Homo-oligomer: A and B are copies of this chain.
């Protein structure tokens, strides 16, 4: 059980840390403030400062590091990079390591045809376009995949898409050009061979973005989360990724490393919140004492430190299992971190908000936005409760329970 990153990874870590410190940190706050100051309708655009930083990162070779084939980094190696990126709201994009593009790129790389790679993977890896993943549906409990209503029916040499998806992250971005759509192709096939993934050009007739969704009142411009309908969307069979009926297999493959990335970024976010809590608690005074010396505040800080450390180690262990035993050797852990990390981050951020008083609820500190990120991730990829069910099922298998 060795969580030591490779020398190559350690070097990348130092370079990413330095890049964030010298290039991103100095402009991030102003960028976000500007974005929030704009009228909401005007936020859905590209921002030159982001594009410039992306160009610099790309030039520096700090680009697509999430992808093992590019960076030579395994999950244990990449984890500290993800944590560093998670401390910023924009760094992941700047290093071209942001969801959902990362997962989509992996899908295209492993399962895409040459044509799909040329058309979608190359510009994605170049950071020229963005993408969305359209799986969750508003009308059903999407954590139970058998309830999916959207269809990807094969008619002759075409695949025809119908259905409604939501929480399609990235859909609001003007650069979003491709949607990976998951739909039912063959209800008669065996349970996990019924669905297909189709790469849908954003501007295909029948694809209508109905609205962008607020998440706890925020729209996360400019990428956002969209509700989108597909009405008789016709594409050639060559738009299917990896072959008809492979939807689930591909969808599952996205999850392991993706969850490690998410969770490590959340740990970075929790660290930012704890730092803010400490700083505020030391600097601000009430009743003639620094806040940290009032009531249970020190105990809260200690509990946060302990919770963050435990969560990080659990993610690193999951990363190590993925590296050494593959997804099948990490099934329980991949669900465990889904349960443990967003909730931990939510709690640490909530504590930090409380220590900031009213200011903690405003956008003067990154806490309110951080809370929303953590809260949303208790539902994204399936609610925590479903993942607790997975962990329990795998545990109980050892005692003869069949399901």
Q: Which residues of A contact B (CB under 8 A)?
A: 1-4, 36, 39-41, 136, 138, 140-144, 147, 166-167, 213-218, 274, 278-279, 281-282, 284-287, 290-292, 294-303, 305-306, 309-311, 313-314, 316-317, 332-333, 336, 339-340, 353-354, 357-363, 368-369, 371-372, 375-376, 378-380, 383-385, 387-393, 395-396, 398-401
Chain B: CB-nearest residue to A290: B401
CA distance A261 to B24 in the complex (A): 44
CA distance A383 to B352 in the complex (A): 12
Q: A298–B389 contact, CB under 8 A?
A: yes
Residues in B whose Cβ lies below 8 Å from that of A332: 305
Chain B: CB-nearest residue to A279: B399
Number of copies: 4
Partner of A310, one of B282, B284, B310: B310
Q: A287–B144 contact, CB under 8 A?
A: yes
Residues in B whose Cβ lies below 8 Å from that of A215: 361-362, 368
Determine how close the nearest CB of chain B comes to the CB of A218; give it in whole angstroms: 4
Chain B: CB-nearest residue to A359: B138
What are 21 A-B interface contacts by the 8 Å CB criterion?
Answer: A1-B4, A2-B2, A36-B214, A141-B284, A141-B285, A214-B361, A214-B362, A214-B363, A216-B371, A217-B217, A217-B363, A278-B398, A282-B399, A292-B392, A295-B299, A295-B389, A298-B396, A301-B391, A301-B392, A301-B396, A303-B388
CA distance A3 to B76 in the complex (A): 14
Chain B: CB-nearest residue to A283: B399
Residues in B whose Cβ lies below 8 Å from that of A290: 401
Chain A interface, DSSP helix/strand/loop, else mixed: helix
With A2-B3, A147-B285, A354-B379 known, 19 other A-B pairs at CB within 8 A are A1-B2, A1-B316, A136-B358, A138-B359, A217-B217, A279-B399, A290-B401, A295-B385, A295-B389, A296-B299, A296-B300, A298-B389, A298-B393, A302-B391, A309-B336, A310-B340, A313-B313, A313-B314, A358-B379
Residues in B whose Cβ lies below 8 Å from that of A340: 306, 310
Q: B339–A357 contact, CB under 8 A?
A: no
CA distance A388 to B285 in the complex (A): 18
Determine how close the nearest CB of chain B comes to the CB of A334; give it in whole angstroms: 12
Chain B: CB-nearest residue to A282: B399
* With A2-B4, A167-B358: A302-B388 Cβ-Cβ less than 8 Å: yes
Determine how close the nearest CB of chain B comes to the CB of A44; give it in whole angstroms: 14
Residues in B whose Cβ lies below 8 Å from that of A281: 396
Residues in B whose Cβ lies below 8 Å from that of A295: 296, 298-299, 385, 388-389
Chain B: CB-nearest residue to A292: B396
Residues in B whose Cβ lies below 8 Å from that of A303: 339, 388
* With A4-B1, A217-B363: A354-B372 Cβ-Cβ less than 8 Å: no
CA distance A286 to B393 in the complex (A): 17
Residues in B whose Cβ lies below 8 Å from that of A375: 353, 361
Residues in B whose Cβ lies below 8 Å from that of A363: 214, 217
Q: A357–B395 contact, CB under 8 A?
A: no
Chain B: CB-nearest residue to A392: B298
CA distance A126 to B39 in the complex (A): 35
Residues in B whose Cβ lies below 8 Å from that of A401: 282, 290, 292
